[in-house]
């Protein structure tokens, strides 16, 4: 069975794990309604996307 010859240091293991991190969601404030939504998604309150009416507004 393979066994490491030396202890892996914190800096070396940190370098290996440098790409493993938390990435937050891209939340933007809608210009017209002021509601928060994900970018490139329909605003469910108004039913608009890119200035066009796509869905009937939720009530």
Report pLDDT digits (tens) over 23-59: 889 999 988 778 899 999 988 888 888 889 998 886 6
Question: Are the C-beta atoms of 38 and 26 separated by less than 8 Å?
Answer: yes
For residue 48, what pLDDT is reported? Answer: 87
Strands (E), 1-59: 27-29, 36-38, 48-49, 52-53
How many residues does this entry show for the chain?
A: 59
Tell me the whole-structure pTM to 2 decimals: 0.54
d(Cα 20, Cα 34) in Å, to the nearest integer?
33
Q: Which two tokens stand for residue 43?
A: 């605003």
Domains in the chain: boundaries: 26-59
């Amino acid at each position: 069975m393979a066994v490491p010859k030396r202890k892996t240091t914190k800096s070396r293991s940190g370098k290996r794990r440098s790409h493993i991190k938390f990435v937050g969601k891209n939340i933007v404030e809608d210009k017209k309604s002021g509601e928060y939504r994900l970018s490139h998604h329909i605003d469910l309150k108004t039913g608009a996307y890119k200035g066009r009416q796509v869905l009937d507004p939720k009530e």
